[in-house]
Amino acid sequence: MTQDELKHFISENIAISFGEPDGRNWTLSSWSNAQAATRDFEAIQAVQQAPKLNVTGSLIMKRAAFAYLGALLAFYKEGEVWDLQASSLHLVKSDDPLYFYLKLQASQITVSPVRLTSEQWDEAVKMLFHDWLKPLVATISDACKIHEIILWENVFIYLKWFYEGLAPSLSELGRDDWALQWNELTRESFFGEETLNPFAYLADVKSKRVVENGMRVRHTCCYKHKLPGGTKCSTCSQIKAT
């Protein structure tokens, strides 16, 4: 599969597009600088008309999480390990309130020289977690004054969908051990004895209510209902059981 074919495959299944950003945008790699990150977050807050920066921080994470999923799909399909910090990822201003006025776009993807076999899937997941996802969560949490567990749950809901819904439906991936991988990924010590696994906690926490279609009810609120005209998710933790 060529790079263009791989990108097309990923964009058909994950909410990320490829190419030069086609409008006002903010580059994720620049957020390693705290001042640049805060400046960008405040600009996005203005675009969203969000009442507080913690609302914007949560919704940024809900968009950026798809870079993690896109990288996982690239590994499972072609064995590539993406270096997301060295890649050019952008949040691009959108007119669509459904996606919080943001879309995720990659103008350049850096492929790591690290080569892993399909049986080393756990190493790919861990590398992306430690090198890119964990620092991004910390940056957004610090700058937007938002609890990390909210950001981690924003990732968790998509990651759960990836392993329980998307990946098993893609015959092109040629695997049938997704449930085993998900159980391993949500093990407390998966990311190392010295690293708390937020996904283990979120997988174990008891739901406050049950949704008729069997979807998992959130432990925390993502705040999207606080945007102008926003509504609560059907799985919102703030909806009381009836």
Question: Residues 79-99: pLDDT tens digits?
Answer: 999 999 999 999 999 988 878
Report the C-alpha gap between 70 and 80 in whole angstroms. 11
Q: What is the arithmetic mean of pLDDT over 38-59?
A: 96
pLDDT digit string, tens, across residues 56-77: 999 999 999 999 999 999 999 9
Tell me, what's the pLDDT at 233? 73
Name residue, tokens 């909806």.
Answer: 239
Q: What is the arithmetic mean of pLDDT over 208-214?
A: 60
Residue 189 pLDDT greater than 90, yes or no: yes
CA distances from 219 to 150, 204, 208 (A): 8, 10, 8
Residue 236 pLDDT greater than 90, yes or no: no
Report the C-alpha gap between 112 and 103 in whole angstroms. 25
Report the C-alpha gap between 179 and 159 in whole angstroms. 12
Tell me, what's the pLDDT at 210? 60
Residue 205 pLDDT greater than 90, yes or no: no
Tell me, what's the pLDDT at 238? 63
Q: What is the arithmetic mean of pLDDT over 198-209?
A: 83
Tell me, what's the pLDDT at 223? 84
Q: Do residues 107 and 20 touch, judged by C-beta distance below 8 A?
A: yes
Structure tokens at 33: 């600088």
Structure tokens at 129: 């977690």
List own/partner pairs for 23-27 with CB under 8 A and 24 or more apart: 23/92, 23/93, 23/94, 24/92, 24/93, 25/90, 25/91, 25/92, 25/93, 25/105, 26/90, 26/91, 27/88, 27/89, 27/90
Question: Residue 230: which pLDDT band, with cuts at 50, 70 and 90?
Answer: confident
Q: What is the arithmetic mean of pLDDT over 113-133?
A: 95
Residue 55 pLDDT greater than 80, yes or no: yes
Question: Could you give the angle at the alpha carbon of 156 between the alpha carbons of 67 and 76, nearest 5°?
Answer: 50
* Backbone phi, psi, residue 54, to 5°: -70, -30
Mean pLDDT for the chain overall: 92
Residue 179: CB atoms within 10 A of its CB come to: 11
Tell me, what's the pLDDT at 88? 97
